[in-house]
Structure 1
Amino acid sequence: MPDPDAIDDPMRDRILRATFKVLCRHGYGKLNLSDVAAQAGISRPTLYKSFKSKDELLSAFSEFELELLRHDLDRAIAGRRGRDRVDALLDFLVDFYTSYQMRGLIEIEPSLVLEQMTTSLPVLVDLVVPVLAKQVPDPETVAQALVRLSLCHYLIPGYDDDRMLEQLRAAVGVR
């Protein structure tokens, strides 16, 4: 769980957003703190006040991304009930996975992306299960199917990307 004080820290937020941009360009293997500091428009010593090491920065970045994802999902389903809530979830998944800017990492560091997806799958499923609760007979299994199908579209863009929403609807059992 991210440190609540850190979430409201504008400098930390600025550094983490800069980290995203640098990662999109260079990947994890070539990430260096000088590039992050330059992208954030700060000095390295200023960066080191918030993050003592590259590992600490990457760990915080993972938490930051998950928190942003949670926030965006919550906003997408806010005030919706029943089928509308499920539809909002499916629209969110399509929008997120078709627009996520770190897709280029697949070409830069495919093995690392696959490794990260392995650890991310359960976390993503845990985000989706509550939205499906009381809407489908087995929310855990349906959430797993939705996440895997979405990740497949993300990792391997193809001829049927325009049919992703239909595929997600079929996985949920709605048309």
Structure 2
Amino acid sequence: MSDKSLLEQWRATAYDQSLSKTELENFWSKYFTIEKDIYVELLKNPDEEVRGTLKEVAAKYGQDVMTMVGFLDGINDSLKVANPIETMTEDTEINLVFDKELLYKNMIDAKADWLYGLPQWDDIFDEETKKRLYREQKQSGTIRKEKKIGRNDPCPCGSGKKYKKCCGRNI
């Protein structure tokens, strides 16, 4: 048994620098296919409260424990109650009860179009809602600068005076 937690073991495997670029690409390609299949199952019945030990939930989706740890690492921020992924063992009780809007937005943030583009989302959100969530997520990372008031511009207080003769006088 390793001294590392399951999460540390997963990350050591997933980000193993000793593997070649091709090996890492193959690893992630296989993982993303598995991840997509799990999401397809989860989204078929989004209100189902999937709970159990890590080992039981992994078996439910036909995965080994390590792959399920990787999946939990990705979905944990979208859950209504986060799992203790840093310290979990095979017998730790976990849940996959997710916030639908948050999960959709997190998939957009991760640029995982193979996930937020799944047809199962059509049964959960209408097109308008998906567009709104997409916009909200994209705008959340955008920094907007307010238009700077010029000295000779009209004062925003509505006095009719130039800014430099009104509210900008004391600056």
| Superposition TM-score tier, normalisation by shorter sequence | 0.3 to 0.5
Higher helix share: 1
TM score, norm. by length of structure 2: 0.33
TM score, norm. by length of structure 1: 0.32
